[in-house]
Amino acid sequence: MTDSRLLTMKRRDVFLTAAAAAASATALNMQSAEAKEVVRTLAVRGHDGVYARLPTLALESKGDFYAGQYVWRAAHLEHAAEERALEILKAKGIDPKSDMSWAEAVALLESDPLIAMTCRARSSQQKLKYQLLQKAYHERADEFLSEMERADKMGPGSLELNPKMFLPEYTTHEIHSMPGGYVGDAFAGHMYHSGTDWGAYVDYNSQDGAHMAMATAAQIPKDGKVRRILDIGTSIGQLATSMKRRFPDAEVWGIDVGGPMVRYAHMKAADMGVAVNFAQRLAEDTKFPANHFDMVVSNLFFHEVSEQGAKNIIKEVGRILRPGGVFSPTDTNTPPQTVKAKYTLWYNYRWNHEDWYADWHSVDFAGEMRASGLKTTNLQNGRDRYSPQVIGVKA
C-alpha cells in the first residue's frame, strides 16, 4: 500500500465531524454538550504520521523526557557500567566472557554502586512512565473508552473479542513492569504503545519503522504464494499492519491474548486505513484450520511465553502452516556472551519482570520447530536486529 492510501481514515478526525459527534452522542447515550467536549479534547492534537498524538502536551513532553532518559542511560550509564564490570572482573582475574551461571554473574557484580545505579535508573523510568500513562488514561477513562467503543465497530478490518476465554496463568503476569500486563488494564494497548516509544523502540516505533523493516525482511514461501498471514502475539498490531502494507492482497490476521491489546491494535489499524483482522485468541489454540497460512510471524513474543507455552505454540504453528509455509519468529534471542550481559539479563528477568526470560533462553526452539514438522534454517544469530534467528518451513 502506498503512503497516499494510508491514513485515509483517522478516528479522531472522523470523530470531529458534526455527524460523527451526533452519532457518538447517541451511541454513547451522552448529552450533546458532553459529546462535544469529548470530540474537542480527543481531536485537538491530531496525528503525527501514522501516530495519533497523545492526548495532552504535558503527557507528550514528559514522555519525550523519558525517551531522552532512555537514550542517555543506554549510551552513557550502561557504557560506564560495562567499563566498571570489566574492572571488577579484571581485579578478580576473571575472563569477561567466562561461562558462568546467572547467579554467579549477579554475585560478582551486584554490590557495585554504579552497576546498581543502572538498575535503579531502568526501574525508576519504567515505574514513572507507566504510572504516568495509567494515570492519564484512567483519569479520562470515559473519553478513551468511548473512543475505543466507537473504533470497535469501525473498519477496515475486523475485531473479535472473547472476554470469557481461558487465560493460561503465564499470560497474566505484569510483564516488563507494565501495570496489569497485557490483559489486566483497559488501556494496556495505549500504555504499551507509548511505553515502547519511550523505551526499547525509541525512534523506531511511532511510525512503525521497526515493524516495517521486519515485514520487509520476512522470508516468503518458495512458491511465492502469500494469501494468508498470521501474526501471533500481535500486541498492538504493528507487525500485522506492516505485513498487510507489504502484501496488500493477502488476508492478514493478528491474534493476542490481551483483549485491550487487540482493541487498540484494531483502532490503530483502522485509523491507518489498513484492513487487518484482529482477534483475542491464544497462540496455542488459534482456532484456524490446519494448513491454512502461508506465513506465520511474530515479534518479541516468545521471550514473554513460558517454556510449555512456547512448545504448545510452536506445535500449533506447525499445524496451521500449509506445506511450504514459513514461520518467522523475531525476538531478543542472542544468548548473553559476557558476564555483564548475564547480569543485565537477570535484572530484566527479576526486576523488569520479564518473567519468562529464563524459559526463553532454555527452550530448544529449533528442536521444537523440527518436532512440529518444520525444517529449520538460519540457525545463526540474526542477520540484523529485525530478522529472526530461526526460520521454519513446513515440510
The binding track of 295-334 with respect to another protein, each residue x by CB under 8 A or -, is: ----------------------------------------
Place of cell 514528559: 62
Q: Is 72 in the site for another protein (CB under 8 A)?
A: yes
- The footprint of another protein on residues 188-207 (CB under 8 A) is 188
Under 8 Å CB-to-CB from 321, ≥6 apart: which residues?
291, 292, 293, 294, 296, 327, 374, 392, 394
3-state secondary structure at position 321: strand
Q: Is 263 in the site for another protein (CB under 8 A)?
A: yes
Phi, psi of 236 (to 5 degrees): -100, 20
Comparing CB distances to another protein, the nearer of 127 and 383 is 127
Q: Is 116 in the site for another protein (CB under 8 A)?
A: yes
Closest distance to another protein from the beta carbon of 21 (Å): 17
Among candidate residues 307, 306, 310, the one with its CA nearest the CA of residue 298: 310
Strand pairing report for 321-330 and 391-394: antiparallel
| Angle formed at CA 319 by CA 329 and CA 305, multiple of 5 degrees | 40
Question: d(Cα 253, Cα 106) in Å, to the nearest integer?
Answer: 41
Binding-site member from 23, 161, 217, 220 for another protein (CB under 8 A): 161
Q: Is 107 in the site for another protein (CB under 8 A)?
A: no
Closest distance to another protein from the beta carbon of 121 (Å): 7
Query: How many residues bind to another protein according to rule CB under 8 A?
Result: 63
Comparing CB distances to another protein, the nearer of 277 and 328 is 277
* Burial class, 18, CB count within 10 angstroms (exposed 0-12 / middle 13-18 / buried 19+): exposed
The binding track of 168-187 with respect to another protein, each residue x by CB under 8 A or -, is: -x--xxx--x--xx-xxxx-
Question: d(Cα 213, Cα 200) in Å, to the nearest integer?
Answer: 16
Q: Is 31 in the site for another protein (CB under 8 A)?
A: no
Comparing CB distances to another protein, the nearer of 53 and 319 is 53
Comparing CB distances to another protein, the nearer of 127 and 153 is 127
Q: Is 352 in the site for another protein (CB under 8 A)?
A: yes
| Angle formed at CA 144 by CA 138 and CA 146, multiple of 5 degrees | 130
Q: What is the largest CA-CA distance in the chain?
A: 73
Binding-site member from 51, 66, 201, 288 for another protein (CB under 8 A): 66
Q: Is 140 in the site for another protein (CB under 8 A)?
A: no
How far is residue 52 from each of residues 154, 190, 299, measured CA to CA in Å? 16, 11, 22
Comparing CB distances to another protein, the nearer of 172 and 333 is 172
Q: Is 3 in the site for another protein (CB under 8 A)?
A: no
Q: Is 395 in the site for another protein (CB under 8 A)?
A: no
Q: Is 62 in the site for another protein (CB under 8 A)?
A: yes
Comparing CB distances to another protein, the nearer of 184 and 324 is 184
Closest distance to another protein from the beta carbon of 303 (Å): 16
Among candidate residues 232, 242, 234, the one with its CA nearest the CA of residue 209: 242
CA-based radius of gyration for the chain = 22
Q: Which residues of 229-268 are buried (b: 16+ CB within 10 A; e: fewer)?
A: bbbbbbbbbbbbbbbbbbbeebbbbbbbbbbbbbbbbbbb
Binding-site member from 233, 260, 329, 392 for another protein (CB under 8 A): 260
Q: How far is CA 111 from the centre of its chain?
A: 33
Comparing CB distances to another protein, the nearer of 81 and 297 is 81
Binding-site member from 19, 91, 93, 163 for another protein (CB under 8 A): 163
Q: Where on the chain is the footprint of another protein (CB under 8 A)?
A: 44-46, 48, 53, 56-58, 61-62, 64-66, 68-69, 71-73, 76-77, 80, 113-114, 116-117, 119-121, 123-128, 132, 138, 141-142, 145, 149, 161, 163, 167, 169, 172-174, 177, 180-181, 183-186, 188, 259-260, 263, 280, 351-353, 355
